Structure 1
Amino acid sequence: MPVVALPQAFLHIPLAHRALHDRSQRRPENSPAAIRAAVAAGYGIEIDVQLSADGQAMVFHDDDLDRLTAEKGPLHARSAADLGRILLHDSDDGIPTLPQVLALVAGRVPLLIEIKDQDRMSGPVKGVLEAATAKALASYHGPAAVMSFNPHSIIAMAALAPAIPRGLTTCGFDPKEWAPMPEVLCAALREIPDFTRAEASFISHDWTDLDRRRVTDLKAQGTPILCWTIKFPTAEAFARKIADNITFEGYAAPFTA
Protein backbone atom coordinates (compact mmCIF):
# COMPACT_ATOMS: atom_id res chain seq x y z
CA MET A 1 0.00 0.00 0.00
CA PRO A 2 1.36 3.51 -0.78
CA VAL A 3 2.60 5.60 2.11
CA VAL A 4 -0.21 7.84 3.41
CA ALA A 5 0.81 11.49 3.10
CA LEU A 6 0.61 13.83 6.06
CA PRO A 7 -2.22 16.36 5.46
CA GLN A 8 -1.01 19.87 4.66
CA ALA A 9 -2.71 21.25 7.78
CA PHE A 10 0.04 19.61 9.84
CA LEU A 11 2.65 21.68 8.03
CA HIS A 12 1.32 25.19 8.64
CA ILE A 13 -0.79 25.13 11.82
CA PRO A 14 1.38 25.05 14.97
CA LEU A 15 0.70 22.03 17.19
CA ALA A 16 0.00 22.67 20.88
CA HIS A 17 2.03 20.17 22.90
CA ARG A 18 -0.34 18.07 25.03
CA ALA A 19 -2.97 20.59 23.91
CA LEU A 20 -3.01 24.26 24.94
CA HIS A 21 -2.27 23.60 28.59
CA ASP A 22 -1.83 26.14 31.36
CA ARG A 23 -2.42 24.94 34.91
CA SER A 24 -2.79 28.51 36.15
CA GLN A 25 -5.89 28.67 33.94
CA ARG A 26 -7.09 25.21 35.08
CA ARG A 27 -6.05 23.61 31.80
CA PRO A 28 -3.59 20.82 32.65
CA GLU A 29 -1.81 18.92 29.90
CA ASN A 30 -3.90 16.52 27.79
CA SER A 31 -7.07 17.67 29.56
CA PRO A 32 -10.43 18.34 27.92
CA ALA A 33 -10.08 21.98 28.96
CA ALA A 34 -6.71 22.23 27.18
CA ILE A 35 -8.22 20.51 24.12
CA ARG A 36 -11.09 23.00 23.99
CA ALA A 37 -8.69 25.95 24.37
CA ALA A 38 -6.52 24.75 21.49
CA VAL A 39 -9.52 24.30 19.22
CA ALA A 40 -10.82 27.77 20.15
CA ALA A 41 -7.43 29.29 19.32
CA GLY A 42 -7.21 27.42 16.02
CA TYR A 43 -4.08 25.50 16.97
CA GLY A 44 -3.38 21.92 16.01
CA ILE A 45 -3.08 19.51 18.92
CA GLU A 46 -0.54 16.90 19.96
CA ILE A 47 -1.71 14.36 22.55
CA ASP A 48 -0.46 11.13 24.09
CA VAL A 49 -2.24 7.82 24.58
CA GLN A 50 -1.62 5.16 27.22
CA LEU A 51 -3.40 1.86 27.83
CA SER A 52 -5.96 1.28 30.60
CA ALA A 53 -6.39 -2.04 32.38
CA ASP A 54 -9.44 -2.82 30.24
CA GLY A 55 -7.77 -2.06 26.93
CA GLN A 56 -8.90 1.52 26.32
CA ALA A 57 -6.75 4.31 24.84
CA MET A 58 -6.46 7.00 27.52
CA VAL A 59 -5.20 10.50 26.77
CA PHE A 60 -2.40 10.85 29.30
CA HIS A 61 1.36 11.28 29.00
CA ASP A 62 2.96 9.53 31.98
CA ASP A 63 3.12 5.84 32.80
CA ASP A 64 2.20 6.66 36.39
CA LEU A 65 -0.55 8.81 37.89
CA ASP A 66 1.65 10.47 40.51
CA ARG A 67 2.76 13.70 38.77
CA LEU A 68 -0.57 14.74 37.29
CA THR A 69 -3.14 13.52 39.82
CA ALA A 70 -3.54 12.89 43.55
CA GLU A 71 -3.49 9.14 42.90
CA LYS A 72 -0.41 6.90 42.83
CA GLY A 73 0.75 4.00 40.73
CA PRO A 74 0.63 2.93 37.10
CA LEU A 75 -2.15 4.11 34.84
CA HIS A 76 -2.37 0.67 33.22
CA ALA A 77 -3.58 -0.84 36.51
CA ARG A 78 -6.86 1.15 36.41
CA SER A 79 -9.94 0.75 34.23
CA ALA A 80 -11.04 3.50 31.86
CA ALA A 81 -14.04 4.23 34.08
CA ASP A 82 -11.85 4.55 37.17
CA LEU A 83 -9.41 6.81 35.32
CA GLY A 84 -12.24 9.03 34.17
CA ARG A 85 -13.12 9.67 37.80
CA ILE A 86 -9.57 10.68 38.75
CA LEU A 87 -9.28 14.46 38.62
CA LEU A 88 -6.22 16.03 37.06
CA HIS A 89 -4.38 18.54 39.27
CA ASP A 90 -5.76 22.09 39.04
CA SER A 91 -8.77 20.91 37.10
CA ASP A 92 -12.30 19.62 37.28
CA ASP A 93 -11.47 17.20 34.46
CA GLY A 94 -10.89 13.49 34.78
CA ILE A 95 -8.54 11.55 32.52
CA PRO A 96 -10.26 11.36 29.12
CA THR A 97 -10.43 8.49 26.67
CA LEU A 98 -9.29 8.96 23.10
CA PRO A 99 -12.89 8.76 21.79
CA GLN A 100 -13.86 11.55 24.20
CA VAL A 101 -11.04 13.75 22.90
CA LEU A 102 -11.91 12.95 19.29
CA ALA A 103 -15.47 14.10 19.98
CA LEU A 104 -14.16 17.38 21.40
CA VAL A 105 -11.87 18.07 18.44
CA ALA A 106 -14.43 16.92 15.87
CA GLY A 107 -12.10 17.42 12.94
CA ARG A 108 -11.78 21.17 13.43
CA VAL A 109 -7.98 21.22 13.82
CA PRO A 110 -5.21 18.71 13.03
CA LEU A 111 -4.68 16.10 15.74
CA LEU A 112 -1.34 14.33 16.22
CA ILE A 113 -1.52 11.28 18.47
CA GLU A 114 1.63 9.89 20.07
CA ILE A 115 1.29 6.22 21.01
CA LYS A 116 3.42 5.85 24.12
CA ASP A 117 5.95 3.02 24.22
CA GLN A 118 4.56 0.63 26.81
CA ASP A 119 7.92 -0.88 27.83
CA ARG A 120 10.19 2.09 27.00
CA MET A 121 12.50 -0.25 25.11
CA SER A 122 11.11 0.13 21.59
CA GLY A 123 10.53 -3.62 21.44
CA PRO A 124 7.79 -5.69 19.79
CA VAL A 125 4.28 -4.67 20.85
CA LYS A 126 1.24 -6.72 21.78
CA GLY A 127 -0.86 -4.31 19.74
CA VAL A 128 -3.61 -3.69 22.30
CA LEU A 129 -3.06 0.07 22.57
CA GLU A 130 -2.58 0.29 18.82
CA ALA A 131 -5.85 -1.60 18.23
CA ALA A 132 -7.72 0.70 20.63
CA THR A 133 -6.29 3.74 18.87
CA ALA A 134 -7.21 2.38 15.44
CA LYS A 135 -10.73 1.54 16.59
CA ALA A 136 -11.27 5.07 17.91
CA LEU A 137 -10.01 6.61 14.68
CA ALA A 138 -12.02 4.34 12.38
CA SER A 139 -15.06 6.62 12.43
CA TYR A 140 -13.20 9.92 12.89
CA HIS A 141 -13.44 12.59 10.20
CA GLY A 142 -10.73 15.23 10.16
CA PRO A 143 -6.96 15.57 9.87
CA ALA A 144 -5.35 13.06 12.21
CA ALA A 145 -2.01 11.25 12.32
CA VAL A 146 -0.23 8.86 14.67
CA MET A 147 3.39 8.59 15.72
CA SER A 148 5.54 6.79 18.26
CA PHE A 149 9.12 6.46 19.45
CA ASN A 150 8.58 2.71 19.05
CA PRO A 151 8.73 1.72 15.36
CA HIS A 152 6.89 -1.52 16.17
CA SER A 153 3.82 0.52 17.18
CA ILE A 154 3.79 2.29 13.84
CA ILE A 155 4.31 -0.95 11.94
CA ALA A 156 1.28 -2.31 13.82
CA MET A 157 -0.73 0.79 12.93
CA ALA A 158 0.08 0.28 9.25
CA ALA A 159 -1.87 -2.98 9.44
CA LEU A 160 -4.60 -1.82 11.82
CA ALA A 161 -5.35 1.61 10.31
CA PRO A 162 -3.67 1.78 6.91
CA ALA A 163 -5.46 4.99 5.90
CA ILE A 164 -4.14 7.00 8.88
CA PRO A 165 -0.85 8.87 8.25
CA ARG A 166 2.00 7.47 10.31
CA GLY A 167 5.25 8.92 11.59
CA LEU A 168 8.12 8.28 13.96
CA THR A 169 8.95 10.36 17.01
CA THR A 170 12.73 10.68 16.98
CA CYS A 171 15.72 12.26 18.72
CA GLY A 172 19.43 11.76 19.36
CA PHE A 173 18.68 8.91 21.80
CA ASP A 174 21.32 9.90 24.37
CA PRO A 175 21.98 6.67 26.33
CA LYS A 176 22.12 8.62 29.61
CA GLU A 177 18.60 9.95 29.06
CA TRP A 178 17.23 6.69 27.68
CA ALA A 179 18.68 4.26 30.26
CA PRO A 180 18.14 1.36 30.67
CA MET A 181 17.84 1.15 26.88
CA PRO A 182 21.12 -0.45 25.68
CA GLU A 183 23.59 1.92 24.05
CA VAL A 184 23.67 -0.21 20.91
CA LEU A 185 19.91 0.20 20.51
CA CYS A 186 20.16 3.95 21.10
CA ALA A 187 22.82 4.14 18.39
CA ALA A 188 20.60 2.23 15.98
CA LEU A 189 17.43 4.22 16.66
CA ARG A 190 19.06 7.61 16.24
CA GLU A 191 19.62 6.74 12.58
CA ILE A 192 15.85 6.21 12.12
CA PRO A 193 16.36 2.81 10.45
CA ASP A 194 12.69 1.79 10.41
CA PHE A 195 11.30 4.77 8.52
CA THR A 196 10.66 2.82 5.32
CA ARG A 197 9.65 -0.43 6.99
CA ALA A 198 7.05 1.42 9.07
CA GLU A 199 5.67 3.05 5.92
CA ALA A 200 6.08 6.37 7.72
CA SER A 201 5.42 9.64 5.95
CA PHE A 202 6.95 12.06 8.48
CA ILE A 203 9.08 12.36 11.59
CA SER A 204 8.73 14.54 14.68
CA HIS A 205 12.27 15.17 15.90
CA ASP A 206 13.84 16.78 18.98
CA TRP A 207 14.38 20.43 17.95
CA THR A 208 17.85 20.53 19.53
CA ASP A 209 19.00 17.73 17.21
CA LEU A 210 17.47 18.89 13.91
CA ASP A 211 20.82 19.35 12.20
CA ARG A 212 21.54 15.61 12.40
CA ARG A 213 22.55 14.25 8.97
CA ARG A 214 19.79 11.63 8.89
CA VAL A 215 17.16 14.31 9.50
CA THR A 216 18.46 16.63 6.81
CA ASP A 217 18.71 13.69 4.39
CA LEU A 218 15.05 12.83 5.00
CA LYS A 219 14.10 16.45 4.45
CA ALA A 220 16.05 16.51 1.20
CA GLN A 221 14.01 13.49 0.10
CA GLY A 222 10.80 15.46 0.64
CA THR A 223 9.86 14.01 4.03
CA PRO A 224 7.88 16.42 6.23
CA ILE A 225 9.83 17.26 9.39
CA LEU A 226 7.95 18.20 12.54
CA CYS A 227 9.76 18.93 15.79
CA TRP A 228 9.29 18.92 19.55
CA THR A 229 9.05 20.77 21.94
CA ILE A 230 9.53 24.50 21.30
CA LYS A 231 9.14 26.65 24.42
CA PHE A 232 10.24 30.12 23.30
CA PRO A 233 10.37 32.16 20.07
CA THR A 234 14.16 32.06 19.59
CA ALA A 235 14.03 28.25 19.62
CA GLU A 236 11.25 28.39 17.06
CA ALA A 237 13.33 30.61 14.78
CA PHE A 238 16.17 28.07 14.91
CA ALA A 239 13.91 25.06 14.42
CA ARG A 240 12.09 26.47 11.43
CA LYS A 241 15.36 26.60 9.47
CA ILE A 242 14.88 22.83 9.08
CA ALA A 243 11.49 21.80 10.45
CA ASP A 244 8.30 22.31 8.46
CA ASN A 245 6.28 22.80 11.63
CA ILE A 246 6.62 22.90 15.40
CA THR A 247 5.08 21.41 18.49
CA PHE A 248 5.07 24.16 21.12
CA GLU A 249 4.10 25.02 24.68
CA GLY A 250 4.34 27.93 27.08
CA TYR A 251 3.88 30.77 24.59
CA ALA A 252 1.54 31.77 21.77
CA ALA A 253 3.18 30.35 18.65
CA PRO A 254 2.51 32.44 15.53
CA PHE A 255 0.64 31.03 12.58
CA THR A 256 2.59 30.78 9.32
CA ALA A 257 1.48 31.02 5.71
Structure 2
Amino acid sequence: MSARKPDFLIDRPFAHRGLNGPGVSENGMAAFNAAIAGGHGIECDVRASRDGVAFVFHDATLARMAGREEAVAALDAATLDGVPLPDGGAIPRLSALLARCGGQTPLLVEIKTDGRQVEGLCRAVARDLDGWPGAPVAVMSFNPYAVRWFLRQRSGQLRGLVVTQQGKGWLRGKIERALALWLAKPDFVACDIRDLPSALSRRARARGLPVLTWTVRSQSERTRAATHADQIIFEVGHD
Protein backbone atom coordinates (compact mmCIF):
# COMPACT_ATOMS: atom_id res chain seq x y z
CA MET A 1 0.00 0.00 0.00
CA SER A 2 1.16 3.49 -0.75
CA ALA A 3 0.50 6.65 1.25
CA ARG A 4 -0.97 9.38 -0.96
CA LYS A 5 -3.43 11.82 0.55
CA PRO A 6 -4.48 14.46 -2.00
CA ASP A 7 -6.68 17.16 -0.52
CA PHE A 8 -9.66 16.41 -2.75
CA LEU A 9 -9.98 12.93 -1.30
CA ILE A 10 -10.63 14.16 2.22
CA ASP A 11 -11.65 17.83 2.11
CA ARG A 12 -15.41 17.37 1.62
CA PRO A 13 -18.05 14.61 1.96
CA PHE A 14 -19.02 12.58 -1.10
CA ALA A 15 -22.67 12.13 -2.01
CA HIS A 16 -23.36 8.42 -2.58
CA ARG A 17 -24.63 8.02 -6.17
CA GLY A 18 -25.20 11.74 -6.13
CA LEU A 19 -27.57 13.66 -3.87
CA ASN A 20 -30.58 11.48 -4.65
CA GLY A 21 -33.95 11.05 -2.98
CA PRO A 22 -37.68 11.22 -3.76
CA GLY A 23 -38.05 12.21 -7.41
CA VAL A 24 -34.27 12.31 -7.96
CA SER A 25 -32.79 9.04 -9.22
CA GLU A 26 -29.52 7.64 -7.92
CA ASN A 27 -26.62 7.94 -10.36
CA GLY A 28 -28.66 10.36 -12.45
CA MET A 29 -27.63 13.78 -13.67
CA ALA A 30 -30.19 15.53 -11.44
CA ALA A 31 -28.62 13.87 -8.39
CA PHE A 32 -25.16 14.92 -9.54
CA ASN A 33 -26.30 18.48 -10.17
CA ALA A 34 -27.75 18.60 -6.63
CA ALA A 35 -24.49 17.33 -5.15
CA ILE A 36 -22.49 19.95 -7.04
CA ALA A 37 -24.92 22.68 -5.95
CA GLY A 38 -24.50 21.53 -2.35
CA GLY A 39 -20.72 21.72 -2.53
CA HIS A 40 -20.24 17.97 -2.12
CA GLY A 41 -18.01 15.52 -3.89
CA ILE A 42 -19.68 12.77 -5.93
CA GLU A 43 -19.47 9.00 -5.71
CA CYS A 44 -20.79 7.05 -8.68
CA ASP A 45 -20.83 3.52 -10.10
CA VAL A 46 -19.84 2.52 -13.62
CA ARG A 47 -20.51 -0.41 -15.92
CA ALA A 48 -19.64 -0.92 -19.57
CA SER A 49 -22.06 -1.24 -22.47
CA ARG A 50 -21.73 -4.08 -24.96
CA ASP A 51 -19.63 -1.86 -27.20
CA GLY A 52 -17.29 -0.70 -24.45
CA VAL A 53 -18.69 2.66 -23.32
CA ALA A 54 -18.64 3.50 -19.59
CA PHE A 55 -22.10 4.28 -18.18
CA VAL A 56 -22.93 5.51 -14.69
CA PHE A 57 -25.12 2.73 -13.30
CA HIS A 58 -24.96 0.50 -10.24
CA ASP A 59 -26.83 -2.73 -10.98
CA ALA A 60 -25.83 -5.44 -13.43
CA THR A 61 -29.34 -5.36 -14.94
CA LEU A 62 -31.85 -2.62 -15.69
CA ALA A 63 -34.65 -4.25 -13.68
CA ARG A 64 -34.64 -2.16 -10.49
CA MET A 65 -34.01 1.24 -12.04
CA ALA A 66 -35.63 0.94 -15.46
CA GLY A 67 -38.08 -1.98 -15.32
CA ARG A 68 -36.25 -3.93 -18.01
CA GLU A 69 -34.64 -7.32 -17.61
CA GLU A 70 -31.61 -6.83 -19.86
CA ALA A 71 -28.11 -6.66 -18.49
CA VAL A 72 -26.31 -3.36 -19.01
CA ALA A 73 -23.47 -5.30 -20.66
CA ALA A 74 -25.90 -6.80 -23.19
CA LEU A 75 -26.94 -3.45 -24.70
CA ASP A 76 -24.98 -1.07 -26.89
CA ALA A 77 -24.39 2.53 -25.95
CA ALA A 78 -27.00 3.94 -28.31
CA THR A 79 -29.67 1.75 -26.74
CA LEU A 80 -28.64 2.62 -23.19
CA ASP A 81 -28.76 6.31 -24.08
CA GLY A 82 -32.50 5.87 -24.67
CA VAL A 83 -33.30 4.09 -21.38
CA PRO A 84 -34.87 6.53 -18.87
CA LEU A 85 -34.31 6.49 -15.12
CA PRO A 86 -37.33 6.84 -12.78
CA ASP A 87 -36.96 10.64 -12.67
CA GLY A 88 -37.07 10.78 -16.47
CA GLY A 89 -33.40 11.53 -16.96
CA ALA A 90 -31.10 9.43 -19.09
CA ILE A 91 -28.51 7.00 -17.78
CA PRO A 92 -25.41 9.22 -17.91
CA ARG A 93 -22.26 8.27 -19.70
CA LEU A 94 -19.17 8.67 -17.54
CA SER A 95 -17.84 11.13 -20.11
CA ALA A 96 -20.90 13.34 -19.53
CA LEU A 97 -20.47 13.27 -15.75
CA LEU A 98 -16.80 14.18 -16.07
CA ALA A 99 -17.76 17.10 -18.29
CA ARG A 100 -20.37 18.22 -15.74
CA CYS A 101 -17.79 18.10 -12.96
CA GLY A 102 -15.54 20.17 -15.21
CA GLY A 103 -12.33 19.21 -13.45
CA GLN A 104 -13.58 20.97 -10.30
CA THR A 105 -15.89 18.64 -8.37
CA PRO A 106 -14.14 15.69 -6.67
CA LEU A 107 -15.34 12.38 -8.10
CA LEU A 108 -15.06 8.78 -6.90
CA VAL A 109 -15.68 6.27 -9.70
CA GLU A 110 -16.57 2.82 -8.40
CA ILE A 111 -15.87 0.15 -10.99
CA LYS A 112 -18.56 -2.55 -10.87
CA THR A 113 -17.12 -5.76 -12.25
CA ASP A 114 -16.58 -9.29 -10.95
CA GLY A 115 -13.82 -11.82 -11.45
CA ARG A 116 -10.58 -11.33 -13.31
CA GLN A 117 -11.97 -10.15 -16.66
CA VAL A 118 -11.76 -6.45 -15.86
CA GLU A 119 -9.93 -4.98 -18.84
CA GLY A 120 -12.94 -3.95 -20.92
CA LEU A 121 -14.55 -1.79 -18.26
CA CYS A 122 -11.24 -0.49 -16.92
CA ARG A 123 -10.15 0.60 -20.40
CA ALA A 124 -13.48 2.33 -20.96
CA VAL A 125 -13.08 4.26 -17.71
CA ALA A 126 -9.43 5.09 -18.41
CA ARG A 127 -10.30 6.35 -21.89
CA ASP A 128 -12.79 8.82 -20.42
CA LEU A 129 -10.42 9.88 -17.65
CA ASP A 130 -7.70 10.58 -20.20
CA GLY A 131 -9.79 13.53 -21.35
CA TRP A 132 -9.49 15.15 -17.90
CA PRO A 133 -5.83 15.06 -16.86
CA GLY A 134 -5.31 16.52 -13.42
CA ALA A 135 -9.01 16.39 -12.50
CA PRO A 136 -9.81 15.43 -8.88
CA VAL A 137 -10.90 11.88 -9.71
CA ALA A 138 -10.18 8.57 -8.01
CA VAL A 139 -11.19 5.09 -9.13
CA MET A 140 -12.11 2.38 -6.65
CA SER A 141 -13.61 -1.09 -6.58
CA PHE A 142 -14.43 -4.10 -4.43
CA ASN A 143 -12.61 -6.06 -7.11
CA PRO A 144 -8.85 -5.98 -6.44
CA TYR A 145 -8.16 -7.01 -10.03
CA ALA A 146 -9.77 -3.78 -11.27
CA VAL A 147 -7.65 -1.71 -8.88
CA ARG A 148 -4.60 -3.70 -9.92
CA TRP A 149 -5.32 -2.98 -13.59
CA PHE A 150 -4.97 0.75 -12.92
CA LEU A 151 -1.82 0.14 -10.90
CA ARG A 152 -0.26 -1.59 -13.90
CA GLN A 153 -1.76 0.40 -16.79
CA ARG A 154 -2.36 3.88 -15.29
CA SER A 155 -0.04 4.03 -12.30
CA GLY A 156 -0.57 7.76 -11.82
CA GLN A 157 -4.29 7.33 -11.30
CA LEU A 158 -5.41 7.53 -7.66
CA ARG A 159 -7.06 4.21 -6.79
CA GLY A 160 -8.87 2.73 -3.80
CA LEU A 161 -10.03 -0.63 -2.53
CA VAL A 162 -13.61 -0.91 -1.24
CA VAL A 163 -13.98 -3.40 1.62
CA THR A 164 -16.67 -4.87 3.87
CA GLN A 165 -16.72 -7.50 6.56
CA GLN A 166 -20.50 -7.93 6.42
CA GLY A 167 -21.68 -11.46 5.69
CA LYS A 168 -18.21 -12.93 6.16
CA GLY A 169 -16.71 -14.90 9.00
CA TRP A 170 -13.70 -13.48 10.84
CA LEU A 171 -11.15 -15.80 9.22
CA ARG A 172 -12.61 -15.60 5.71
CA GLY A 173 -12.78 -11.84 5.88
CA LYS A 174 -9.21 -11.54 7.14
CA ILE A 175 -7.84 -13.76 4.37
CA GLU A 176 -9.86 -12.01 1.65
CA ARG A 177 -8.78 -8.55 2.78
CA ALA A 178 -5.13 -9.53 3.00
CA LEU A 179 -5.20 -11.00 -0.52
CA ALA A 180 -7.11 -8.02 -1.92
CA LEU A 181 -4.68 -5.51 -0.40
CA TRP A 182 -1.70 -7.46 -1.73
CA LEU A 183 -3.18 -7.57 -5.23
CA ALA A 184 -4.45 -4.00 -5.37
CA LYS A 185 -1.82 -2.00 -3.47
CA PRO A 186 -4.35 0.84 -3.14
CA ASP A 187 -3.73 4.49 -2.39
CA PHE A 188 -6.75 4.56 -0.03
CA VAL A 189 -9.39 2.24 1.38
CA ALA A 190 -13.15 2.71 1.58
CA CYS A 191 -14.58 0.82 4.55
CA ASP A 192 -18.15 -0.16 5.36
CA ILE A 193 -19.33 2.13 8.20
CA ARG A 194 -20.81 -0.94 9.90
CA ASP A 195 -17.28 -2.34 10.31
CA LEU A 196 -15.76 0.69 12.01
CA PRO A 197 -13.70 0.78 14.08
CA SER A 198 -11.60 -1.99 12.57
CA ALA A 199 -8.02 -3.24 12.62
CA LEU A 200 -7.78 -2.50 8.89
CA SER A 201 -8.79 1.13 9.29
CA ARG A 202 -6.39 1.60 12.20
CA ARG A 203 -3.47 0.10 10.29
CA ALA A 204 -4.23 2.11 7.18
CA ARG A 205 -4.38 5.42 9.02
CA ALA A 206 -1.24 4.60 10.98
CA ARG A 207 0.56 4.27 7.64
CA GLY A 208 -0.84 7.56 6.35
CA LEU A 209 -3.32 5.86 4.05
CA PRO A 210 -6.66 7.73 3.80
CA VAL A 211 -9.75 5.88 5.01
CA LEU A 212 -13.14 6.75 3.53
CA THR A 213 -16.30 5.15 4.87
CA TRP A 214 -19.65 4.27 3.27
CA THR A 215 -22.59 4.54 3.36
CA VAL A 216 -23.15 7.03 6.18
CA ARG A 217 -26.84 7.76 6.74
CA SER A 218 -27.28 9.01 10.30
CA GLN A 219 -25.80 11.45 12.78
CA SER A 220 -24.57 8.59 14.95
CA GLU A 221 -22.72 7.16 11.96
CA ARG A 222 -21.25 10.57 11.16
CA THR A 223 -19.98 10.79 14.73
CA ARG A 224 -18.36 7.36 14.49
CA ALA A 225 -16.86 8.19 11.10
CA ALA A 226 -15.35 11.39 12.47
CA THR A 227 -13.30 9.30 14.89
CA HIS A 228 -12.36 6.37 12.69
CA ALA A 229 -12.20 7.68 9.10
CA ASP A 230 -10.89 10.64 7.13
CA GLN A 231 -14.03 11.35 5.07
CA ILE A 232 -17.53 10.00 4.47
CA ILE A 233 -19.55 8.80 1.52
CA PHE A 234 -23.07 9.65 2.60
CA GLU A 235 -26.77 9.51 1.90
CA VAL A 236 -29.35 11.76 3.55
CA GLY A 237 -30.81 9.83 6.48
CA HIS A 238 -31.78 9.99 10.12
CA ASP A 239 -31.41 8.09 13.39
* TM-score, normalised by the number of residues in structure 2: 0.92
Matched, 1:133 2:125: yes
Aligned-partner residue type, residue 107 of structure 2: L
Cα shift at 1:13: 0.3
Shift of 1:220: 1.1
Instruction: Please list the CA deviations of residues 153-179 of structure 1 after superposition, one character each: whole Å capped at 9, or x if unmatched.
Output: 011012232221011001115249xxx
Supply the RMSD in Å over aligned alpha carbons.
2.1
Q: What is the total number of aligned residue pairs between the two structures? A: 237
Name the structure 1 match of 2:229: 243
- 2: CA distance between counterparts of 1:41 and 1:193? 38
Aligned partner (choices 71, 87, 93) of residue 74 of structure 1: 71
Give the drift of 1:195: 2.6
SS in 1 for 2:92: coil
Secondary structure of the corresponding residue to residue 204 of structure 1: strand
In 2, the alpha carbon distance for the partners of 1:193 and 1:205 equals 16
Q: Secondary structure at the match of 2:64?
A: coil
1:67 is aligned with what amino acid? R
Q: Which runs of 5 or more residues in structure 2 are unaligned?
A: none
CA shift at 1:228, angstroms? 0.3
Mark the runs of 5 or more structure 1 residues left unpaired by the alignment: 177-182, 253-257
- The answer (yes or no) to whether the contact 2:213–2:229 under 8 Å persists in 1 is yes
**How far did residue 196 of structure 1 move?**
4.8
For structure 1, which segment, 72-81 or 227-236, has the greater mean C-alpha deviation from structure 2 after superposition?
Answer: 72-81
8 Å contact 1:6–1:165 — kept in the other structure? no
What SS does structure 2 have at the residue aligned with 1:174? coil
1:42 and 2:29 matched: no
Q: 1:217 aligns with which of 203, 208, 228?
A: 203
In 2, the alpha carbon distance for the partners of 1:108 and 1:36 equals 13
Partner Cα distance (1:114, 1:192) in 2: 20
Consecutive aligned runs of 4 or more in structure 1 exceeding 6 Å deviation: none
Which of residues 158, 171, 174 is equivalent to 1:165? Answer: 158
Preserved CA contact (<8 Å) 2:3 2:209: no
The residue type equivalent to 2:204 in the other structure is L
Structure with higher helix content: 2
**Other structure's SS at 2:181 match:** coil
Q: CA deviation at 1:213?
A: 1.2
* Percentage of identical aligned residues: 34
